[in-house]
């Protein structure tokens, strides 16, 4: 049997993580908001999508909407939830923001487990509506899904590129570098950040979560643990925090590399040992890469070089501590 459908599925998952990493890059790479709550946002989007498409008479009843309407709905719901979480959270600084977003994601997951009537609890939601599934053989569907994931990725890329070339993107990076200075120039930093968080929520609910749902085929809370968050972060760091395409490239490299390990054929008795080897390999990959390319495969300076013509050879040192500025 051909391994092609398998690789199509791996790549689909890579693109899901890649899309999330591109969005995380807007928020964390350019905006400096180190969000550890990605899995929570994806969960809100995924369950919204599932419940909006699920027929009213299903085990976990929903509204039975067509997939595209559910995507829009999931986008709006995730955007609103993100804005509500962002409003109190984004006022927190540094590590408090990390911890709080982390906690919110865990709360969301626990709510999904507890709200059995709404979400199916740990049994989950099955019978997910996959777009165009009725027109294709099940054996061909992985390729259709890969096509859909690629189309969604293109949309996320367009948004990310637009942001990187906009006044908004520049303001975001400026406020990350020196918040008091950005304020002193008239930038409403809090508002920019909440809007950013909401944008990431919108795109997550609209595109990332639905493709993830199609990929999964059924929803259980275990698909939305911190593992998902760290996968996205690792992909982004490998690819290059603050670059334009790094998140996508890093995520695809990471998922393909770690799935390739699974293809190594070993005796069944060693299979579990090999499975345990997988996270180890990811760790080694990360260490080796960051040893040789601390900024990731791509870098922010490389990404924005066009506007920074190498006229002179002034070297950029590490950003200085900015606390002193506001004192």
Residues of this chain that interact with other proteins (CB under 8 A) are 159, 162-163, 165-171, 173-174, 177-178, 180-189, 191-192, 195-196, 199, 242, 300-301, 304, 307-312, 314-320, 322, 324-327
Q: Which is nearer to other proteins, 74 or 159 (CB)?
A: 159
Residue 131 CB, nearest distance to other proteins (Å)?
A: 25
Residue 258 CB, nearest distance to other proteins (Å)?
A: 31
**What 3-state DSSP class applies to 266?**
coil
Residue pair 48/23 in contact (Cβ under 8 Å)? The answer is no
Distance CA 25, CA 29 (A): 4
Residue 203 CB, nearest distance to other proteins (Å)?
A: 10
HSE at residue 27, side-chain half, CA atoms within 13 A, is 32
Q: Which is nearer to other proteins, 291 or 309 (CB)?
A: 309
CA 283 to chain centre: 19
Distance CA 16, CA 228 (A): 10
How far, CA to CA in Å, does 280 sit from each of 162, 268, 273, 287? 37, 20, 11, 11
Residue 247 CB, nearest distance to other proteins (Å)?
A: 17
Residue pair 216/228 in contact (Cβ under 8 Å)? The answer is no
Q: Which is nearer to other proteins, 138 or 186 (CB)?
A: 186
Counting DSSP H helices and E strands in the chain, the numbers are 15, 0
HSE at residue 18, side-chain half, CA atoms within 13 A, is 28
> Length of the chain, please?
327
Residue 217 CB, nearest distance to other proteins (Å)?
A: 32
**Helix boundaries (H) for the chain:** 4-24, 38-53, 67-89, 94-114, 116-119, 141-164, 167-177, 179-184, 189-203, 209-216, 226-239, 246-263, 268-292, 300-303, 323-326
Residue pair 187/167 in contact (Cβ under 8 Å)? The answer is no
Residue 105 CB, nearest distance to other proteins (Å)?
A: 23
DSSP state of 289: H
**266-275: long-range contacts, CB 8 A cutoff, minimum separation 24:** none
Closest CA to 198 of 324, 190, 216: 190
Q: Which is nearer to other proteins, 265 or 320 (CB)?
A: 320
Residue 162 CB, nearest distance to other proteins (Å)?
A: 6
What the block records as the tokens of 90 is: 């984004």
Q: Which is nearer to other proteins, 59 or 188 (CB)?
A: 188
Q: Which is nearer to other proteins, 165 or 226 (CB)?
A: 165
Residue 130 CB, nearest distance to other proteins (Å)?
A: 28
Q: Which is nearer to other proteins, 182 or 219 (CB)?
A: 182
Q: Which is nearer to other proteins, 191 or 227 (CB)?
A: 191
């Amino acid at each position: 049997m051909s391994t092609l459908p398998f690789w199509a599925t791996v790549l689909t998952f890579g693109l899901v993580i890649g899309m999330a990493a591109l969005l995380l890059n807007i928020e964390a790479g350019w905006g400096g908001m180190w969000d550890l709550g990605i899995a929570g946002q994806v969960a809100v989007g995924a369950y919204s999508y599932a419940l909006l498409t699920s027929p009213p008479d299903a085990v976990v009843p929903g509204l039975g909407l067509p997939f595209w309407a559910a995507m829009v709905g999931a986008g709006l719901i995730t955007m609103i939830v993100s804005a509500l979480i962002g409003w109190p959270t984004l006022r927190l600084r540094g590590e408090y923001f990390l911890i709080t977003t982390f906690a919110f994601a865990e709360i969301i997951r626990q709510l999904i487990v507890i709200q059995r009537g709404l979400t199916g609890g740990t049994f989950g939601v099955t019978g997910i509506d996959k777009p165009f599934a009725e027109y294709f053989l099940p054996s061909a569907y992985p390729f259709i899904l890969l096509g859909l994931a690629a189309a969604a990725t293109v949309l996320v890329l367009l948004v990310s590129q637009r942001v990187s070339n906009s006044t908004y993107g520049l303001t975001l990076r400026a406020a990350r570098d020196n918040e008091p200075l950005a304020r002193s120039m008239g930038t409403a930093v809090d508002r920019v950040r909440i809007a950013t968080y909401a944008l990431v929520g919108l795109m997550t609910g609209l595109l990332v979560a639905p493709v993830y749902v199609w990929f999964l085929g059924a929803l259980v809370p275990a698909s939305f643990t911190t593992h998902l968050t760290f996968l996205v972060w690792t992909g982004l760091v490998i690819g290059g925090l603050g670059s334009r395409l790094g998140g996508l490239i890093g995520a695809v490299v990471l998922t393909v590399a770690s799935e390739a390990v699974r293809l190594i054929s070993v005796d069944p008795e060693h299979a579990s040992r090999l499975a345990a080897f997988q996270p180890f390999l990811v760790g080694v990959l990360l260490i080796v890469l960051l040893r040789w390319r601390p900024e990731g495969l791509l870098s922010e300076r490389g990404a924005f070089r066009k506007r920074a013509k190498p006229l002179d050879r002034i070297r950029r040192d590490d950003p200085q501590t900015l606390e002193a500025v506001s004192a």
